[in-house]
Amino acid sequence: MKKIVVLLSGGMDSTTLLHELTECYDEVAAISFNYGQKHKKELEYAKKTCKKLGVEHKIVDISVFNELIDQSSLTGDIPVPHGHYEEESMKQTVVPNRNMILIAMATAWAVNKGYENVAYAAHSGDHAIYPDCRPGFFFYLDRAVNEGNYGNVHLRAPYINMDKTDIAEIGLKMGIDYDEETWTCYEGGFSPCGKCGACVERAEALELAQKRIDMDKSHSH
């Protein structure tokens, strides 16, 4: 019996990961966090996906987190920057040490449930500005998770060396309807703003992934 807890934001990457893991693990449970993000809407999408896949879903309110930080545009009063992730302005969207906090809590839940794996959907597109999505961070945190829990738990990051287009390609091939099933925009308005870094990257990844799929199809005829 292989059991895994997945950190699910409700965005493209973690939603794709959840879909993939339900196909290769015996038991899958998802955990989402309300940390006062402006784009809280993603949680509704997370809920919907878990319902569809029949996966246990836990939402934990850690908005107390905001007492500790005041400098990220994802939670504070600073406007969300527009453009690409690589740009300096996107550093404003870094919530210090966020992934370690979320992974640490997901691990506690996993241990309590007797699950031996925790997964998160870090990928190479985030490496440039989010250090807690990089392979080095993942490498050491996995070992800390393992050492800290009697050698019983491992952290998984299957997308760590893939980019958003690779992930979109997996998801499109699995039939995920990204517009219906995921939320990406950092603004959290009625419909996606189309301008923030998250929106821009998403649109590019989906377009490129679809082109790849179409090319594969045309070549196989």
**Rule CB under 8 A: which residues touch a copy of itself?**
58, 60-62, 64-65, 67-71, 95-101, 104-105, 107-109, 111-112, 131-132, 134, 136-137, 139-141, 143-145, 147-150
Q: Quick one: 29 or 196, whose CB is closer to a copy of itself?
A: 29
Helix axes 98-113, 135-147, angle to 10 degrees: 40
Q: Quick one: 78 or 140, whose CB is closer to a copy of itself?
A: 140
User: Smallest gap, in angstroms, from Cβ of residue 139 to a copy of itself?
Assistant: 8
User: Smallest gap, in angstroms, from Cβ of residue 191 to a copy of itself?
Assistant: 31
Q: Quick one: 71 or 161, whose CB is closer to a copy of itself?
A: 71
Q: Quick one: 86 or 179, whose CB is closer to a copy of itself?
A: 86
User: Smallest gap, in angstroms, from Cβ of residue 58 to a copy of itself?
Assistant: 7
User: Smallest gap, in angstroms, from Cβ of residue 48 to a copy of itself?
Assistant: 21
Q: Quick one: 101 or 213, whose CB is closer to a copy of itself?
A: 101
User: Smallest gap, in angstroms, from Cβ of residue 181 to a copy of itself?
Assistant: 26
Q: How far is CA 61 from CA 18, 46, 77, 93, 191, in A?
A: 21, 14, 20, 20, 24
The dihedrals phi and psi of 158, each to the nearest 5 degrees, come to -60, -20
Of residues 49, 47, 23, the one with CA closest to residue 178: 49
CA distance 51 to 167: 22
Q: Which residues contact 4 (CB under 8 A, 6 or more apart)?
A: 21, 25, 27, 28, 29, 110, 115, 116, 117, 118, 119, 156
User: Smallest gap, in angstroms, from Cβ of residue 161 to a copy of itself?
Assistant: 16
Angle at 192 between CA 97 and CA 202, to 5 degrees: 65
Please report the sign of the dihedral spanned by the C-alpha atoms of residue 66, residue 69, residue 71, residue 72: negative
Q: Quick one: 152 or 173, whose CB is closer to a copy of itself?
A: 152
**Element housing 216 (H / E):** helix 197-220
